[in-house]
Amino acid sequence: MKVRVTTGDPTRVAGDVLALPLFELDRDKWRLPSRLGRIDAALGGRLAAVLGTGDFRGRAGDTLTVYPDDGLAARRVVLVGLGREAQLDADALRRAAGAAVRATATRRGEELAFLAPTTRRLRPPAVARALTEGAVLAGYRFEGWQEAKPDAGPGVRQVTFLYERAPDARSARRGADEGTILAESQNLARELSNQPGNALPPAELAKRAQRTAKEVGLRCRVLGPAELKRRNMGGILAVGGGSANAPRLVVLEHGKRRAAGASRGRPTICLVGKGVTFDSGGISIKPAAGMGDMKHDMSGAAAVVGAMRAVALLKLPLHVVGILGAAENMPSGTAYRPGDLVRTMAGKSVEIVNTDAEGRVVLADALHFANTEFEPDAIVDLATLTGACVIALGSWCSGLFGNDDALVERVRRAGEASAERAWPMPLWDGHKQAIRSRAGDLKNAGGREAGAGTAAAFLSHFVGDTPWAHLDIAGTGWTEKTGPYQPAGATGVGVRLLLELLQSWKKA
């Protein structure tokens, strides 16, 4: 989708839809916003008449279509509700732009002009960034596996954000460029996550990460099974051992590491993603119902690829390393078994009590590799780790755990600011005790209690003393519910949160 920012007379802009965002109107004493006066006049007063009916009150999510005769160059006017101005934030703008794109697409339109709202609450670049994110995210579709449906339109090709004042448009352009990078990166994460297990085994996930790296100028290394063996990564090898599709560890790197011994300079941050390209449960096999959803079990890794793309394109002044632990969890004669003792790269042994608790076994090696290879200032991992997290928090937020209160708080705030909420959960000694093993150092699953917390406790053993935060995105990584900028399927959650965290890294 092409995004443009211009100044111009909205009555003269051609296109399939001209979207007019409106703040919520009072039922009795509403007035036509003065900047819509010229459009209302061009429509022969029809805008005021429509608002007078009370059919559209500007509440968040409201839309109403008006058909102009000859007064306007655009073929349709779509009113889009922004909700109360006092409550306007970036996500309200994302949703409004998303609603306009969806309204255009369902009317088989390809070109949308959107009158950018002005508000004291947000500066023009922030407004443009949020609008662009909403529009580009709303334009995403998972395609490529279906014959073209005759009645489906081609989708929205171009969105133009209209500004009244040239200086506003100029500064908005920066925001729109940034928003495009963010949203296209999140769409990449969605696209990877939506691909089925047969199309995206670990080697293919690695290949796509490599391709992205090449496009945006990231360094990329892929460790195959021989290299994993050489480095004693018994965890990821055990999980991947049951599949004909061998595991991979992928390393994406942006920026330069600080000189050895230097205390100043660019901080190093590692982003680690669970990349289980399909999770059957292995020998502890899952029930058949809903098992297909486990094609999304690499959503953490997908978010890391998306975030690294944005980090590179935005040229962040940080050393950021993305690490994907990619494996397929399958039952077979070569699969790991319940009762197995597995030696991880860290040297700690893990008693496998359930082969379906595979994500943490993969992450054990990925986290230890991140920590020892890069000696980072912070590690953030993302994983569709536990069904227990879905029960605890639903799809309203990701579960947030860590060993460092300050980092956890920064991640929480980044989630709030990016509308990808993450909520702090406890990680105590008791959670660690629940995964002690009699036969080995750790076992890979605790009891039924606090399943998300004991999973996080397991991970904590592999990050040393490095500040670390863990996002359990099992409930947020994909959805059946559609939203104004969210089609059913993968969400690409984590990309916006991570960029918010990294862009504000210095200021914290």
Q: Catalytic residue positions?
A: 286, 360
Segment contacting Zn ion (CB under 5 A): 106-114, 192-200, 276-284, 403-411? Answer: 276-284
The residue range among 63-71, 79-87, 276-284, 493-501 that interacts with Mn ion, by the rule CB under 5 A, is 276-284
Using CB under 5 A, which residues numbered 333 to 392 contact Zn ion?
359
Q: Which is nearer to Mn ion, 338 or 430 (CB)?
A: 338
16 contacts Mn ion (rule: CB under 5 A): no
Q: How far apart (Å, rounded) are the C-alpha atoms in residues 270 and 467?
A: 11
Give 332 or 504: the residue with its C-beta nearer to Mn ion. 332
Only one of the segments 130-138, 197-205, 241-249, 350-358 lies at the binding site for ligand BES (rule: CB under 6 A); that segment is 350-358
Asked whether 182 and 133 are in contact (CB, 8 A), the reply is yes
Distances (CA, A) of 441 to 75, 213, 287, 313: 68, 37, 30, 42
Among 357, 393, 422, 490, binds ligand BES (CB under 6 A): 357
Are 459 and 370 in contact, with CB atoms under 8 Å apart? no
Residue from 132, 180, 386, 503 that binds ligand BES (CB under 6 A)?
Answer: 386
CA angle at residue 209 from 206 to 211, to 5 degrees? 110
Tell me how far, at minimum, the Cβ of 281 lies from Mn ion, in Å.
6
Tokens of 4: 């443009």
State which residue, 72 or 390, has the beta carbon closest to ligand BES: 390
Residue 111 contacts which entry, Zn ion, Mn ion, ligand BES, none (Cβ below 5-8 A, type-dependent): none
Binding piece for ligand BES, criterion CB under 6 A, among 79-87, 94-102, 262-270, 353-361: 353-361
- What DSSP character marks residue 118? -
Contact 237, 225 (CB under 8 A): yes
Residue 76 vs 360, nearer CB to ligand BES? 360
Q: Which of 16, 191, 340, 356 contacts ligand BES by CB under 6 A?
A: 356
- Partner in contact with 386, chosen from Mn ion, ligand BES, Zn ion, none, beta carbon below 5 to 8 Å by kind: ligand BES
Site for ligand BES in 433-462 (CB under 6 A): 445, 451
In the numeric block, the tokens 């670049």 are attached to 125
Instruction: Select from 111-119, 128-136, 148-156, 271-279 the region that touches Zn ion (CB under 5 A).
Output: 271-279
SS3 of 391-448: the string is HHHCCCCEEEEECCHHHHHHHHHHHHHHCCCEEECCCCHHHHHCCECCCCCEECCCCC
What x/- string results for residues 54 through 93 when contact with Zn ion is judged by CB under 5 A?
----------------------------------------
Secondary structure string (H, E, C) spanning 292-329: HHHHHCCHHHHHHHHHHHHHHHCCCCCEEEEEEEEEEE
Collapsing DSSP states into helix, strand and coil, what is residue 269?
Answer: strand
Structure tokens at 35: 């900047």
Binds ligand BES (CB under 6 A): choice among 384, 398, 418, 476: 384
* Choice from 354, 372, 437, 479 touching ligand BES (CB under 6 A): 354
- Of 253, 297, 365, 381, the one binding Zn ion (CB under 5 A) is 297
Please list the residues that pair with 363 across neighbouring strands. Answer: none
Amino acid letter, 260: A
- Residues 354-393 vs Mn ion: string with x where CB under 5 A? --x-x-----------------------------------
The Cα-based distances of 39 to 34, 43, 328, 492 in angstroms read 10, 6, 57, 38
Among residues 171, 188, 215, 163, the alpha carbon closest in space to that of 301 is found at 188
Q: How far is the CB of 164 from ligand BES (least distance, A)?
A: 47
Of the two residues 309 and 443, which places its CB atom closer to ligand BES in the complex? Answer: 443
Binding-site member from 13, 50, 127, 390 for ligand BES (CB under 6 A): 390
CB of 189 to Zn ion, least distance (A): 17
Q: Which of 62, 184, 279, 340 binds Mn ion (CB under 5 A)?
A: 279
CA dihedral 159, 161, 167, 170 (to 10 degrees): -20
Nearest approach, Cβ of residue 385 and ligand BES (Å): 6
Contacts of 473 (CB under 8 A, 6+ apart): 299, 300, 303, 382, 383, 384, 385, 398, 493, 494
Question: CB-wise, 73 or 291, nearer to Mn ion?
Answer: 291
Question: Would you tell me how many other CB atoms lie within 10 Å of the CB of residue 416?
Answer: 16
Q: To 10 degrees, what angle do helices 299-313 and 202-216 make?
A: 10
Query: Which residues, at least 6 apart from 411, have a Cβ–Cβ distance to it below 8 Å?
Result: 380, 400, 402, 422, 469, 471, 497, 501
Binding site for Mn ion (CB under 5 A): 279, 356, 358
Binding site for Zn ion (CB under 5 A): 276, 279, 297, 359
Binding site for ligand BES (CB under 6 A): 279, 297, 354, 356-359, 384-388, 390, 445, 451, 474
